[in-house]
Amino acid sequence: MGQSMCRSCGAKLEHTFVDLGMSPLANSYVKPEQLNRMEPFYPLHVYVCGKCLLVQLEQFSSPADIFSDYAYFSSFSDSWLAHAKAYVDMITPRYGLDKNSKVVEIASNDGYLLQNFVARGIPVLGVEPAANVAEVAKGKGVNTKVLFFGEKTALELVEDGWSADLIIGNNVLAHVPDLNDFVQGLKMLLKPTGVVTMEFPHLLQLMEQRQFDTIYHEHFSYFSFLAVEQVFARHGMKLFDVEELPTHGGSLRIYAAHIDDGSKQVKVRAKELKSREERAGYGRLEHYLSFRSKVEEVKRTLLSFLIAAKQEGKSVVGYGAPAKGNTLLNYCGVRSDLLDYTVDRSPHKQGQFLPGVHIPIFGPDHISQTRPDYVLILPWNLREEVMQQMSYIREWGGKFVVPIPQVKVYP
């Protein structure tokens, strides 16, 4: 049983959602010269709070370097850039934003989103903790400050005249260690009729699609609409609208306002999602406790497939080296005895090894050179794209395998 307290309501964490065992940090790829060194593993034990039903990682002694190597540049993904632009095209007329408005983005990265407001002449401020990433944003003319966000930062920004009409946070809420401090900061920074929008992976999709491999150390909270609504309510805010998005295997975009803002009526789609979650069991603890056995079933099925393939003398290799692949392979104990190697398009990962399981990473050409019988697609969210790109494996009778939501072979 955990000794930790819920990061939303403070109750003691007593119920396991799923325990994925000890695992290395998902982005700690291993260089060849590091192979014979010790490697740090941390618990990947997920709890559900018995009181507010927030699914969360137990607080573990987090390494100081958990974010220090954070070299993720949002602008590297075309589809993510298009997603950001479509958001700005939608939100600008919806709230009548113009040169007199103030837009603040938390974890603004390299300015991938705010640059679209800059192009429209709307004043922006990016808040980004990683200095090297913030520099890139400034180079694009996106006003950015290197700060961690919370109550203290919010107060400073208000004093500097940055009370906001719109506050944006994409894929940051799940990564916040002190959730109440962060949401209280949003409350303080928001103008009386302002709007907060936040995007994060939806727990309902994680559970229904068995996306347990999206659990990793940097990702502290896993939100249902019901659980996130309670966090905002605690700080005097209401969720008045929500959109379901296809990003990251299924995300929510929530819209929050001050609870006493009469200009924001709760929309039908927010009420509908809430009752859909309630009907599906997200208001009851037992529903969460049923997840564990589904995860274990995926593990057994994947191992059975890999062992049977080996027994038949077939070769199996991976495609991709995403963070989710590292969770999956470490939890299942799949090393190069079951998966010969993996390939990745990113030159930064080629020549390195997957953390923990030490499976080597090659460039995609390695597949046509070695002609494996099966290619296991680790970034299952990109399966259509990968199967199209790599359709040539069918020339030698190669087949694709997707592990999530269940192991499926595509002839």
Residues that bind Zn ion (CB under 5 A): 6, 8-9, 11, 49, 51-52
CB 228 to Zn ion: min, Å: 12
Q: How far is CA 181 from CA 7, 78, 184, 234, 362, in A?
A: 10, 33, 5, 11, 43
> Which amino acid is located at 52 in the chain?
C
CB 166 to Zn ion: min, Å: 29
Please say which residue, 3 or 68, places its beta carbon nearer to Zn ion: 3
Query: In whole angstroms, what is the distance from residue 389 CA to residue 385 CA?
Result: 6
Please say which residue, 52 or 226, places its beta carbon nearer to Zn ion: 52
318 neighbors 325 (Cβ within 8 angstroms) = yes
CA 234 to chain centroid, in Å, comes to 24
CB 49 to Zn ion: min, Å: 3
Please say which residue, 50 or 363, places its beta carbon nearer to Zn ion: 50
Please say which residue, 18 or 49, places its beta carbon nearer to Zn ion: 49
Joined tokens for residue 153: 């930062």
CB 154 to Zn ion: min, Å: 23
CB 53 to Zn ion: min, Å: 7
Please say which residue, 51 or 140, places its beta carbon nearer to Zn ion: 51
3-state secondary structure 335-368: CCCCCCCEECCCCCCCCCECCCCCCEEECCHHHH
Query: In whole angstroms, what is the distance from residue 8 CA to residue 10 CA?
Result: 6
CB 52 to Zn ion: min, Å: 3
**Cβ-count burial 54-92 (b if 16+ within 10 Å, e if not):** bbbbbeeeeeeebeeeeeeebbeeeebbebbeebbeebb
Please say which residue, 167 or 173, places its beta carbon nearer to Zn ion: 173
